[in-house]
């Protein structure tokens, strides 16, 4: 780990506290107090921190750009934690980038002026409180504040059972799309000596897990033996397909990118199913296998929406095997 990464960690932890403040109260209007521990860690490396936050040198500028991107992903994770179907507009993303940059500049100013970690926090707190309020405002504009469609995490055993996957026939390496903060499936695979990695919008401490979203992850041709998406990519693709103003084309293109990242003989396993695109896959290149989940409780209203929008239910696990 290089020095810039050493400094990034306490900065990200400070910023995570801002994100968590909005997550616990999306109408945040009060005061905000940061944890002194992270400020002390930063202040102990004051000169290096000022070099990092001052974008005068190319190396500092690159490190600052990476840090800004990671903090933006933290904020985007917050939005999807509260409502996983929120899609930020380009305007909102630009606003979010400005908010993060302003907070980092406020942090630089506080570190530059303060004589101690305590004083640094005192100088930073008004900016942090304002930042939390701005995030809450952006969230309220992106989705109804009373509607929270949360993204849940499930045990590895539950995910494997739902997806009808057997470790004895699983082709490595394995990629878990939307692995979650706990990365339960990646941990489980690794405990069985199966080469597995994952990514999510929230940074996981689990070995092999990256901070990324599925449009930015660098998929390469024939990269993975098995790609898994349990209630993640396909759920959002389905949502976009059913929305009148949805961005289904973007998801369709990325769906094909994911399929191309699977090795020949490998599998893309996901749930819910995507009947509107699976039937279009060339049969000489892909084999589509569907596994019904009749034992699950079914919401009649949801089934009516599926019948109208799809002509059939997507409540199944799908294996698309690349031939």
Domains of the chain: 3-142 (1.10.357), 156-322 (3.40.50.150)
**Cα 78 from Cα 22, distance rounded (Å):** 8
**Cα 194 from Cα 262, distance rounded (Å):** 17
- With H, G, I as helix, E, B as strand and everything else as coil, classify residue 287: strand
| Ranges assigned E (strand) in the chain | 174-177, 196-200, 209-211, 224-230, 262-271, 286-292, 316-322
3-state secondary structure 202-269: CCCCCCCEEECCCCCCCCCCCCEEEEEEECCHHHHHHHHHHCCCCCHHHHHHHHHHHHHCEEEEEEEE
Q: Look at residue 144 in the predicted model and tell me its pLDDT.
A: 47
Overall average pLDDT of the 23-50 stretch? 69
pLDDT band at 52 (very low <50, low <70, confident <90, very high): confident
Instruction: Say whether pLDDT at 296 is over 70.
Output: no
Radius of gyration of the chain (CA): 22
Overall average pLDDT of the 157-183 stretch? 92
Instruction: Say whether pLDDT at 22 is over 60.
Output: yes
Pairing of the two strands 316-322 and 286-292: antiparallel
- With H, G, I as helix, E, B as strand and everything else as coil, classify residue 97: helix
Q: Which residue has the higher pLDDT, 55 or 39?
A: 39
**pLDDT, tens only, 111-158:** 888 888 889 888 888 888 888 888 878 777 665 444 444 455 788 998
Instruction: Say whether pLDDT at 304 is over 70.
Output: no
**Cα 166 from Cα 127, distance rounded (Å):** 51
**pLDDT, tens only, 184-193:** 999 999 999 9
174-177: strand order across its sheet: 209-211, 196-200, 174-177, 224-230, 262-271, 316-322, 286-292
Contact of 48 with 107, CB cutoff 8 Å: no
Give me the residue label for tokens 């599998």: 267
264: tokens are 């020949």
Burial (CB count within 10 angstroms: exposed 0-12, middle 13-18, buried 19+), residue 125: middle
Give me the residue label for tokens 């892909």: 286
Q: Look at residue 41 in the predicted model and tell me its pLDDT.
A: 80
C-alpha separations of 57 from 60, 67, 68, 235, 307 in Å: 5, 15, 16, 43, 58
Instruction: Say whether pLDDT at 93 is over 60.
Output: yes
Peptide bond into 95 cis (omega under 30): no
- pTM (2 decimals)? 0.64
Q: Look at residue 87 in the predicted model and tell me its pLDDT.
A: 66
**Cα 203 from Cα 111, distance rounded (Å):** 26
Instruction: Say whether pLDDT at 231 is over 80.
Output: yes
């Amino acid at each position: 780990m290089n020095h810039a990464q050493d400094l990034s960690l306490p900065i990200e932890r400070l910023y995570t506290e801002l994100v968590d403040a909005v997550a616990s109260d999306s109408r945040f209007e009060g005061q905000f107090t940061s944890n002194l521990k992270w400020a002390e860690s930063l202040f102990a490396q004051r000169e290096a921190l000022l070099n990092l936050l001052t974008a005068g040198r190319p190396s500092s500028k690159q490190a600052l750009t990476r840090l800004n991107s990671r903090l933006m992903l933290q904020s985007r994770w917050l939005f999807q934690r509260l409502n996983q179907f929120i899609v930020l507009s380009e305007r909102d993303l630009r606003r979010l980038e400005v908010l993060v940059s302003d907070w980092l500049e406020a942090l630089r100013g506080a570190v530059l002026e303060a004589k101690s970690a305590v004083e640094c926090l005192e100088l930073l707190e008004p900016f942090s409180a304002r930042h939390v309020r701005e995030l809450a405002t952006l969230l309220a504009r992106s989705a109804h504040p009373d509607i929270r469609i949360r993204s849940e995490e499930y045990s590895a055993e539950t995910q494997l059972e739902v997806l009808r996957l057997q470790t004895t026939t699983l082709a490595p390496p394995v990629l878990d799309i939307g692995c979650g903060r706990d990365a339960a499936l990646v941990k489980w695979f690794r405990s069985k000596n199966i080469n597995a990695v994952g990514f999510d919008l929230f940074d996981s401490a689990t070995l092999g897990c990256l901070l990324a979203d599925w449009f930015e992850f660098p998929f390469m041709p024939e990269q993975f033996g098995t790609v898994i998406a349990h209630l993640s990519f396909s759920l959002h693709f389905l949502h976009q397909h059913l929305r009148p103003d949805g961005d289904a084309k973007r998801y369709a293109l990325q769906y094909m990118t994911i399929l191309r990242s699977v090795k020949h003989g490998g599998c893309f396993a996901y749930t819910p199913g995507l009947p509107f695109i699976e039937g279009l896959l060339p049969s000489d290149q892909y084999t589509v296998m569907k596994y019904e989940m009749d034992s699950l409780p079914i919401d009649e209203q949801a089934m009516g929406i599926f019948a109208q929008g799809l002509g059939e239910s997507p409540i199944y696990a799908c294996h698309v095997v690349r031939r």
